[in-house]
Structure 1
């Protein structure tokens, strides 16, 4: 029995000590300062800035991608009307050419044969015309038969049609019919630039043979470039002509450029469920090249909401925080770390979505990273 009393006494003593220890710990925790305290010297030295939230307009965006392109009239694929061997070319990819500049000279014996046929028909025309007019007169006077008149008429009109056809073909080959009529026949035909621009493809070399409709080279005039964007079907009803576009060329720079929706496609790609959107650039003076890949945002609507500068919001372990000023004295500032939900970001400001903040609250808007890190 004596031992039982001793054990009970020891147990009560331990409980008393435990209560005292807990009270001491609670007292220590209550004595610890709460929040982040910054002295006035630290505030001034680090150029910290405090300010309220602002009501700002944020656009609603449709994310898309695409490429820099040129209108069809600014791109020319140069092909020969008739085949031949490349006799002359001195152009390289990147060379600029003017409209009408000599590009390639082709050589082919068929050019000679065509000119011979043209010259023969040309020389026959005067005779056939005179025969036709003579037989017409005789037929009108009932001297010649209708058969002779119709035969003369047919011969003249056939020759005339062949003359016009060969003349057009020579002009397509850039061979002068007038020179051929004077007896100047050549085995060479020149190809000239249909537009001004830069050579983007060069598929032949001197001596190579090209067939009709084979692409010899390509010319692109990038004085007027535009955006060709691909928008998913789920977003297309939001996109309208005149809406603003912000785009970047991720492989070239982080700079953002501006454009505007000019045309919205009227048909859907069945396989990809996308629609083409055509955008005009605000400034075309940049070094934009057709084929450049772009990431773009189309501003479809706007909303007004509370915001803070981007640097006032910092991410830590997947959460976003701001530093709210809870106390300011002559010698120090006390900030409280407040978790917020971050909305969109635009023009250096971030949407702040939080029910626990109001317009009178003050926040550290510059220097947050230095205090709480990332």
Structure 2
């Protein structure tokens, strides 16, 4: 009897031992409905989980556009002669920087002598009439001469002054130094000068050629104030406003973005491409820009500061459900519990997406900014158990 009882007790003890749960190994995942998804630190590191919070980020709806670096009309000049003449000297080369008023070339024509002689004649005539006018003005003030005689002298004075002004303007147009002519020094060769500062882009002159008014001899471009010119499709026109931020990059180097701001836009749509031209002022300094360089641009419309997360923090399921994971545990704890939270998303830009959590997150919640698809797989394992 004692032998039978002893065997029975031994069997009860062995059965009780089998029913004891196994110890939890550190790397095992324990998933329960009230504790979320529990991961050890080793699992967290292997999953690449990064912790962070929802932050305010400048986001917008982007309008993609393509275009090029351009020069506005007021920053380029075609230089031609104001009177026909033969090119005698050329002082500049293509690619050379010049200042406004700098001599580009000299040219000559016999008619230049006539212009200067006309000025001298009108100046001498005016000087004589001016003396008569001043004398008549004193005489009429003293009632020595009649008002009628003074008026006739005054009319002649005004006519002579107008003729002299016209002769002076003709000298100025030719670029002749008036002071030199006043001293009696006249020349048949005058200088062609740069109307603006910039780079000599084209030289179409040669020594000995006859240049006329319709023939551009030099092209000068000012590269100090280049603009961004892009084409925007008709459907996007209502979104574009002056002052909007523009980011752009050069073809083949889209990783390096530069900034500009919309300054103006056209008022008519190109009937062929159904596009409108937008001009933006370039803000990024130190760029080596050349007119005609092609660019890819994004015009940031409806730009505002929004609550956002990295795109890597959001899981998008096939049924379009969007969610992330958060924890209220110490991220450095031996094991951390993660909980799912659903979100609505909005603008996406530069790897960030605007989010609105559909549930209120705890104040101390830390959000998984990466590794969320690993967390999703662990969540699915939990649901299958």
Output the TM-score relative to the length of structure 1. 0.63
**In the aligned structure 2, how far is the partner of 1:253 from the partner of 1:204?**
39
**In the aligned structure 2, how far is the partner of 1:145 from the partner of 1:192?**
49
Unaligned runs of 5+ in 1: 1-46, 314-342, 352-358, 366-374
Partner of 1:113: 114
Equivalent residue runs for 1:86-105 within 5 Å: 86-105=87-106
Change in Cα spacing, 1:173 to 1:48, as seen in structure 2 (3 Å) is farther
Partner of 1:14: none
**In the aligned structure 2, how far is the partner of 1:138 from the partner of 1:304?**
87
Q: Does 1:188 align with 2:186?
A: no
Partner of 1:339: none
Change in Cα spacing, 1:364 to 1:224, as seen in structure 2 (3 Å) is farther
Shift of 1:165: 1.0
> Helix, strand or coil: the match of 2:231?
strand
Q: Does 1:226 align with 2:220?
A: no
Deviation by residue 1:227-279 (Cα, 9 ceiling, x = unmatched): 122222211222233332221221x6444322232324261235254333222
Unaligned runs of 5+ in 2: 1-44, 317-345, 355-366, 376-385
Could you tell me whether the CA contact under 8 Å between 1:53 and 1:306 is conserved in 2?
no
Partner of 2:179: 178
**In the aligned structure 2, how far is the partner of 1:48 from the partner of 1:88?**
77
Equivalent residue runs for 1:182-261 within 5 Å: 182-212=183-213, 214-250=215-251, 253-261=253-261
Could you tell me whether the CA contact under 8 Å between 1:85 and 1:108 is conserved in 2?
yes
Partner of 1:265: 265
Could you tell me whether the CA contact under 8 Å between 1:309 and 1:350 is conserved in 2?
no
Deviation by residue 1:317-351 (Cα, 9 ceiling, x = unmatched): xxxxxxxxxxxxxxxxxxxxxxxxxx997546799
Aligned length: 285
Equivalent residue runs for 1:20-39 within 5 Å: none
Shift of 1:134: 5.3
Change in Cα spacing, 1:113 to 1:87, as seen in structure 2 (3 Å) is same
**In the aligned structure 2, how far is the partner of 1:255 from the partner of 1:194?**
39
Change in Cα spacing, 1:139 to 1:346, as seen in structure 2 (3 Å) is closer
Partner of 2:16: none
Change in Cα spacing, 1:167 to 1:350, as seen in structure 2 (3 Å) is same
Change in Cα spacing, 1:138 to 1:260, as seen in structure 2 (3 Å) is closer
Partner of 1:76: 77
